[in-house]
Structure 1
């Protein structure tokens, strides 16, 4: 199976970028609802419908949900790409549909998606509400879980650009986690199934993004939905769609999430899972906060009449302006920045820094400045 060709053939062309709302996916759901596979299973705080989509007749039940955090849309795109495969009529699709029954919630938090926020409309992080179930969206997710009784759960998220894959100096383009089920972070049968599945997906991704797969922190928090479902005995896999160089729209990362979904389900359908892959799992680099969007090195600044050479970093803030996501770069740190990397790095080689704000970089100011008064940077990048 050639994954690149499969993705090109089935990529859902009507959705893209970072800002994905219920309005974006409603036409897709209508198109998919050929035999009452789409169902409204609840409402959000603002009264927006929360949809599920079911397909397949197999005994193994797979439960997937995306955009629990409204501003995390990459896995939603990949999920629709995967659904297109299931509806393709191919031998591979028919094999998956005979083996599995899929229940997907493509957008759990439509209010947060519209507002482009992590939280829901009540400013609650749904991924910290799995025990109290104070929010309507949390109740919907749990009720569907209890009704569907899945054999596997897929918890689909995005992560920020700050994460690297261990000390490799490479971004964590895709990260996984088999969540803990107790404080001791022990390995039981359920968690081992999730671990073995992650090992399969990582083995495939290493052929495409070597060194760019991370393993998320497994500290136990029963308030997180993945930890709760693992605690309840259902193998649960956390997906984190991260940064690929120059891919702030997450269209390349989308492809690798698709690759992971396809390869994992292929292995499950063929019973081609290496049992007890804990050693391979632990060799996946642990996620570390080691990246900035921009690092500027060897900058000369005049600080209270004293010239010094230093470094500084800037980070994009994603801002929703007129229904578009704008990336605005702000200075975040000044100093040595030891053991950190930039997705964009610039060595000024002692060039003098000036700006229109006060003469030296200060945190929270926009990354608009000059070097030697003749190289202009606007929004973090050199203006040509």
Structure 2
């Protein structure tokens, strides 16, 4: 049976003013200003280009959760989901009242507003903020660490997005959502902090398996102290990495956004109502590890004018043009792709209506023209 927040998401909690992939400070500023005063909106710093960075502090509970989104500017799905969560928390209900009674949430909706504006992973100084946790060379990194030190969270949610190439294990199941409890040391020791994170992840996975069975993945837990999650975990805070991935035909990540909303709500409610002991280690490691097995498109049995036959693995590059993200295809691999998967497969041997001979000397240009002609891409 669906809980109330699951059954009512689209008509009640989805923030209609946020959609598609391009989400910038301009898109969220008016929404931040409309939040209730009890959500305690503050400007906590500025970016390299002097754009404001905000936080919202919500609730009065002893269990403190710090979460931040768009550390990578081109990973916007979790930002949309955060505003859906805010809509849920604004509504008077037994669930929201329980959360606000037992938890205090500190939410940074957009840590990297410059990267969001440019639709890049890095900030305006071309630094990956998720590799700056030790050096703290960037103003955005300092903002996050300052909030971490002042808030002293009991749990951290590190909210990200992942590319379409990931599969949940070595099978034809895209990794729609992935999780990780980062390591604290080179040995990847299963520490009490990690065990608590694992318990939360297992709880979310159990819920998601009912909606997207076999589409949840687990990231490799190789240790890198320069990453924010590894640093915060090593400082004693159970940390959960969320990765919003690809739902079939959902390149705008609207369905994934809904699933991330469910996952965040499941985690917050579990923390609010449960004494987390860290008893789900085995179940955590049963979640299949992410593998890079998917192409956006595989063109199978392609024939050129020189009677060469091979498969073409196609990926999309996300390109910002006139305030909209366009998905431009490029050739990732050209070989016989016997063990790879794709979100769309076009077999030129089987589909007679798709017969097409490519000129080998201009394969890439013709590929783009073909895909556009047959509406295989959406721009």
Per the normalisation by structure 1, the TM-score is 0.93
CA shift for structure 1 position 90 = 1.1
SS in structure 2 at match of 1:141: helix
1:199 corresponds to: 202
Distance 1:342 1:380, change over 3 A: farther
Is the alpha carbon distance of 1:361 and 1:273 closer, same or farther for their aligned partners in structure 2, counting shifts above 3 Å?
Answer: farther
Q: CA deviation at 1:308?
A: 2.7
Structure 2 residue 356 is the aligned partner of structure 1 residue 361 = no
> Which structure 2 residue ranges, 5 or more long, are not aligned?
none
Q: Tell me the number of residue pairs that the alignment of Structure 1 and Structure 2 aligns.
A: 372
Asked if 1:278 corresponds to 2:278, the answer is: no
Give the match for residue 56 of structure 1: 59
Q: 2:184 aligns with which of 181, 184, 190?
A: 181
Aligned to 1:5: 7
Q: CA deviation at 1:315?
A: 1.0
Aligned-partner Cα distance in 2 for 1:33–1:145 = 23
Aligned to 1:97: 100
Question: Which structure has greater helix proportion?
Answer: 2
Structure 1 residue runs without a partner (length 5+): 371-375
Structure that is richer in strand per residue? 1
Q: 1:24 aligns to what?
A: 27
Partner of 2:214: 211
- For residues 124 and 188 of structure 2, what CA distance do their matches in structure 1 show? 33
CA contact (8 A) 1:73 1:158 kept: yes
Instruction: Measure the CA separation in 2 of the matches of 1:379 and 1:13.
Output: 31
How far, CA to CA, are the matches of 2:109 and 2:372 in structure 1? Answer: 39
1:184-263 aligned at under 5 Å gives the runs 184-263=187-266
Q: Which deviations, in whole Å up to 9, do the C-alpha atoms of 1:304-329 show, x marking residues without a partner? A: xxx23211111111111011111111
What does residue range 76-91 of structure 1 map to in structure 2 within 5 Å?
A: 76-91=79-94
TM-score scaled by length of structure 2 = 0.94
- The change in CA–CA distance for 1:88 and 1:3 in structure 2 (over 3 A counts) is closer
**Compared CA separation, residues 123 and 359, structure 1 to 2 (3 A):** same
Q: Deviations over 1:262-303 (max 9, x none)?
A: 111222222175742111111101000001111011122234
Equivalent pair of 1:166/1:285 in contact (CA under 8 Å): yes
Q: Is the 8 A contact 2:198 2:278 kept in 1?
A: no
Counterpart position of 1:117: 120
Aligned equivalents of 1:61 and 1:268: distance in 2?
A: 9
Across the aligned residues of Structure 1 and Structure 2, the Cα RMSD in angstroms comes to 1.9
Secondary structure of the 1:258 match is helix
1:305-384 → structure 2 map (5 Å cutoff): 307-349=307-349, 353-355=356-358, 358-359=360-361, 361-362=363-364, 365=365, 367-369=367-369, 378=373, 381=376
